[in-house]
Amino acid sequence: VPVAVLASGTGSLLTALLDAAEADSAAFDVVAVAVDRDCRAAELAAQRGIAVITCRLGDYPDRGAWDRALTEQTAAFAPEWVATAGFMKILGPAFLDRFAGRVVNSHPALLPAFPGAHGVADALAYGVKVTGTTVHLVDGGVDTGPILAQTPVAVEPDDTEETLHERIKQVERVLLTDVVTALATRGVVTDGRKAQIP
Ligand code: GRF
């Protein structure tokens, strides 16, 4: 089952997806990686022979043009699912229409707590004892789509944003890969806010 991955960062989640896709029993293969900037994730994909789409917001007159370009370039690879793995842009209406219900995101906090780009730092600053990771379907909001899976991660007294995020990434890699595999093989049933993988 063809999957496209969107990334902007160091590519640790992308690497987990690529490793799973290359396993003999793989349920999915990564057909393209789309990035919005030059980043380690783009380099990793290129090194592993995966097509890289670079779609920078600054190369377009406005966000709508960028949204349409990213949509068309991603659609050219005909992915059945799109996984955002540390993609630091809000997907636009063109993308969400074209891939409605087929975009899955990994967020490093237990949504609905601590949405947005600083979920790890916000959880640490709030003083929670347990945070974690959430894999959810992407809708028009920021980290607001139906939740598919979550894993808790304890916060240690001496945690910094880096140490906590690294521990969260360790479970994220497993959860995102498991969910993409499950979606590829069993799909998903949604009922309003509720999503269930059969
Ligand atoms: C992950 O924690 C992801 O949930 C968040 O950004 C991080 C991406 O890390 N949105 P990487 O770029 O895959 O290493």
**Rounded alpha-carbon distances, angstroms, from residue 137 to 6, 80, 161:** 14, 14, 25
CA of residue 165 to ligand 1 center, whole Å: 9
The alpha carbon of 15 and the centre of ligand 1 are apart by a number of angstroms equal to 11
Q: Which of 13, 110, 150, 167 to mutate to test the pocket of ligand 1 (most atoms within 8 A of CB)?
A: 13
ipTM at complex level: 0.88
15-63 pLDDT, tens digit per residue, is 999 999 999 889 999 999 999 999 999 999 999 999 999 999 999 999 9
Model confidence pLDDT, tens digit, residues 95-106: 999 999 999 999
* Statement: residue 122 has pLDDT above 90: yes
Q: How many CB atoms are located within 10 Å of the residue 164 CB?
A: 20
Residue of minimum CA distance from atom 8 in ligand 1: 86
106 within ligand 1 shell (Cβ under 6 A): yes
Q: Is 110 annotated as belonging to a binding site? A: no
Residue 108 contacts residue 85 (beta carbons within 8 Å): no
Beta strands in the chain (DSSP E): 2-7, 29-35, 51-54, 81-84, 103-107, 130-137, 147-154, 189-191, 194-196
